[in-house]
Each structure stands twice: as structure tokens, then as C-alpha cells.
Structure 1
Amino acid sequence: MAKDDDSTPPPPPPPSSPEFHPALTMTNIKNSIPLTLDYEKVQYSNWVELFENHVCAYDVLDHIDSNTPRPSNISDILWNRLDAIVKQWIYGTISKDLLETILGRKSTAKETWDRLKDIFQDNKSTRVVYLETQLNAVHLDGFQNVTAFCQHLKSLADQLANVDQPISDQKLVLRLVAGLNITDFDTVATMIAQTDLLPSFNTA
């Protein structure tokens, strides 16, 4: 009589899902979107650019954009899973204060996306006045170096564009020149201001 074998073979692995999507492979959203959106820095336009580029690359733009049709070859189960992933991406790239503000039980990614949009595009007139005041008051002596000064100018311009008040590249160059209020840069400021055709902001 054969001796009983107490060893039980492990169960076979579950069958792999027939549905695959590239968004399922994303493990660290911060690699693609290094910015953290918050109230203070108000990097909304920059954050949107990175986020929209990311969801487009991973073929889930329909989860935040009403004009992008939902793919017909994706099941409801997979679509809902992808929607949760897109929400995770949003949650993982915003500040804690914003997260607590926009969290909503059973919300879709689109509803979450729209809440953020409403926060940063609400009270546009008040925001425009504030940003233009900041832009006109900024000077080089308030920054550690020229690079930080130029980055702040660009950030203010981006924020104005985000509330539908874009400023021209020429005006941004003039603000750059006006803000060079340190003697060491008098010659450079004069050279830029006196050119027949102002250079681009990046060149200046």
C-alpha cells in the first residue's frame, strides 16, 4: 500500500486578464509629474500641461477631457479601474490642502479634475488684478540671482495666461528690463531696451 503523501501541490496561478492597458504599468507618477500643485505657488498651468501630456501618453485622456471619446474596446471593469488610477495620479501630485478640498466619495476622475479647475479659475478678475500688481512690482533685488528673478516673471506670466489674461512676450521682456534695478545690470538693461526689435524673453 502506498504511503499517503501529505504534501499538497500549490494551486495554479490565476489566469491573466485578457485586457491590458499601458496605464496599468505606471508605478511612480512623480517621475512623470515632478511638480506638486498647491495654493501658494499656483503652478496650475504648468501642472495641467504635464498632467495632460501624461494621460495622453498613457491613453487615458478621456478620463479628464469631455471632448475625448471613451474607447469602445474597453470593458466597464477596466475603464473603472483606469479611472481610479487617474484619480490616484491626481491625488499624488497635489498638496495635502488641495487633496482635502477636492476629495469626494465615489467621484470620477473627471469630477475631481473639474473641482481643481474651478478652484484655480474662480474669481478670475480678482486674481488678474493681484497677478498684474505682482508682475509690475517684481525687481531683481528681491531674489538671490537673475535666474530666480526670471523664473518668477515667467511663473507670473503663466498664471495670468491661466486666467485668460496672457501677456505678450514683448511686455514680459520690458518687465524684465524694468526689474533690473541693480547697478551691475544697467548696461545690459539699456542694451536690451534700445534694440530695434526686442529679443524673445528666453533670449533676453
Structure 2
Amino acid sequence: MLHAIAYKVVDHIDETEKPTENSEGFDEWKEIDALFLQWIYSTLSKQYLDRVLELKTTAREIWVKLENIFLNNKSARAGNLNQQFSNLTLWSCSPLPDYLQKLKEIASQLTDVGQPVDELRLVIQPVQGLPPEYAVAGALIHQLAPSWDDACTMLHHEEMCIKNQNAVGNSLAVLAATAEPS
């Protein structure tokens, strides 16, 4: 839709009636529609292209078919995405930046199927899937309910502290193991 708006061709996919073949500007409209249709086809995976590819069609007709394909299973998709969002853990998609990105992507997909994730849930959910080492940042996030960006920053800082503590602990263990008894 962003491309359609940017290139001023929304009338090719919304409910605007196409011009008749005899009307002035039909040839130009037909050419633009063909270009837009090519763009739609070029963005589809083979699976979806095979389902919608037709001769003598318009961008609007294909757009409606795609809407039907993607929105007909909206409730089932929303349920599946909600389950993924609620059950995702750091261990299942480590490292931390990937985990946070995956949560953000699922939240975006939930919005696409009419189940938007509010900011508070988006901020609190990552804490649920973290191991106990992140308890300090988790408690702060629960208490402060910061923005998504601030919560991500807090978790990244916590991750650095955990890595530093582990490095110090490993160094002390190596020193203790190599030290000669007196």
C-alpha cells in the first residue's frame, strides 16, 4: 500500500471504478495497471504467484484475491501469533537482539491481523522469556514500564553486565585452578 500511495496508483487497487475502454485516458490507465500488476507479481513467492497469476486481469482483481488469501485465515493466524508471542524465549532465538527483533516482528504481524499489541505488553513480554540472570533488568522494566526502546536498552546493558560478570568469574576460576597451593 505504501508503494501504491507513493506512486499515486491507489486507484488501481481500491474500489475506484476503472475507466471504460472508450474513455479518454484508458490506454494510460491500462499501461499503469499492467506495470503495477507486474510489481505485485514480482513481490510474490511462487506459492502465491501460482494461486493468483491470470491473464486479462487487473491489479485490483489480484489485490482482492491476495487480500482474501491472507485475511481469510485471520483468526487462526492471530491465535497462532499470540501463542508464539507469549511463548517465545531468549533460549529459543538467542542472541538477545534476535529475540527482541522476533518479538517486535510478531507484534507487527499481530497488528496486521487486527490484534495489535499495546506498548505495555510489548515492553513486558520480553521479560517473561528471559533466564534468571536478567532478573534485575526485568524487575526494573516491570516497575518502570519504560518505552520499547528504553526496555531494549536496559536489557542490552544487563546482557553486557552478565557477560562481564561471567568473564570475571571465569578469570578467577582459571587463576584459582592454576595457583599453587602454599
User: Which TM bucket (shorter chain)?
Assistant: 0.7 to 0.9
Instruction: Tell me which residue corresponds to 2:108.
Output: 158
Instruction: Tell me which residue corresponds to 1:145.
Output: 95
Instruction: Tell me which residue corresponds to 1:134.
Output: 84
Does the Cα contact within 8 Å between 1:121 and 1:162 map onto a contact in 2? no
What secondary structure, in the 3-state scheme, does the structure 2 residue paired with 1:202 have? helix
Return the offset for 1:186. Answer: 2.4
Equivalent residues in 2 for 1:60-139, closer than 5 Å: 60-66=9-15, 75-139=25-89
Counterparts in 2 of 1:105 and 1:199: CA distance versus 1, 3 Å: same
Counterparts in 2 of 1:148 and 1:74: CA distance versus 1, 3 Å: farther
In the alignment, the residues of structure 1 paired with residue 16 and residue 143 of structure 2 have an alpha-carbon distance, to the nearest angstrom, of 46
Return the offset for 1:203. Answer: 2.5
Partner letter of residue 202 of structure 1?
Answer: D
What secondary structure, in the 3-state scheme, does the structure 2 residue paired with 1:88 have? helix
Instruction: Tell me which residue corresponds to 1:27.
Output: none
Instruction: Tell me which residue corresponds to 2:149.
Output: 202
Percent identity over paired residues: 36
The answer to whether residue 137 in structure 2 is matched with residue 191 in structure 1 is: no
Counterparts in 2 of 1:68 and 1:148: CA distance versus 1, 3 Å: farther
How many positions carry a matched residue from both structures?
Answer: 148
Q: Which runs of 5+ in 2 are unaligned?
A: 152-182
Counterparts in 2 of 1:54 and 1:68: CA distance versus 1, 3 Å: farther
Instruction: Tell me which residue corresponds to 2:173.
Output: none
Does the Cα contact within 8 Å between 1:61 and 1:68 map onto a contact in 2? no
Does the Cα contact within 8 Å between 1:136 and 1:175 map onto a contact in 2? yes
Return the offset for 1:74. Answer: 6.6
Partner letter of residue 178 of structure 1?
Answer: Q
What secondary structure, in the 3-state scheme, does the structure 1 residue paired with 2:29 have? helix
Counterparts in 2 of 1:77 and 1:179: CA distance versus 1, 3 Å: same
Counterparts in 2 of 1:135 and 1:85: CA distance versus 1, 3 Å: same
Instruction: Tell me which residue corresponds to 1:179.
Output: 129
Counterparts in 2 of 1:105 and 1:182: CA distance versus 1, 3 Å: farther
Partner letter of residue 132 of structure 1?
Answer: N
Q: Which runs of 5+ in 1 are unaligned?
A: 1-51
Deviations 1:75-98 (CA, angstroms, capped at 9, x unpaired): 111100100000111111121111
TM-score (norm 2): 0.74
What secondary structure, in the 3-state scheme, does the structure 1 residue paired with 2:135 have? helix
In the alignment, the residues of structure 2 paired with residue 74 and residue 62 of structure 1 have an alpha-carbon distance, to the nearest angstrom, of 16
Equivalent residues in 2 for 1:15-54, closer than 5 Å: 52-54=1-3
What secondary structure, in the 3-state scheme, does the structure 2 residue paired with 1:194 have? helix
In the alignment, the residues of structure 2 paired with residue 152 and residue 104 of structure 1 have an alpha-carbon distance, to the nearest angstrom, of 35
Q: CA RMSD in A?
A: 2.1
Does the Cα contact within 8 Å between 1:140 and 1:182 map onto a contact in 2? no
